[in-house]
Structure 1
Amino acid sequence: ASFNPSSLAGIEAKLVIKDVDISRIRKLIMIIANSFFFKLLKENKLNLKKVHNPRVRNKQIMLIM
């Protein structure tokens, strides 16, 4: 299963339209993103130090935060 941040943004946008408390949704999305990332980390033993492309590394760091 591939991780698609743009689909999360789409889900978030739909929820905003429905007038849902966005900070709660953002927290939930971050929890989902973090758990996904750490699952990936365990499965693939992803190592930030091995990633030389700064753009990719920043994406990964953003997911951790």
Structure 2
Amino acid sequence: TSPEEAYRKFDVIASKHTEQLRKCTKRDEVLKRSINEYEDVLAKYIRYSWHKRKYMGFGDVRTGNSI
């Protein structure tokens, strides 16, 4: 194999790997956004649940004491 042919083969392989890396990075970004959205919704739910429990007279959720 000539040096030119070897370089061409290497370039093809490098291009394929670069494209795979781009796709993985894109999927990773989508996944990170989804996780952040999930955590935001969960935090809102926990706050809502906490306040609802407190206002309904169930007391302090942390200690179990009634108001």
TM-score range, shorter chain: 0.3 to 0.5
- Normalising by structure 2, we get a TM-score of 0.38
Q: Which has the larger radius of gyration?
A: 2
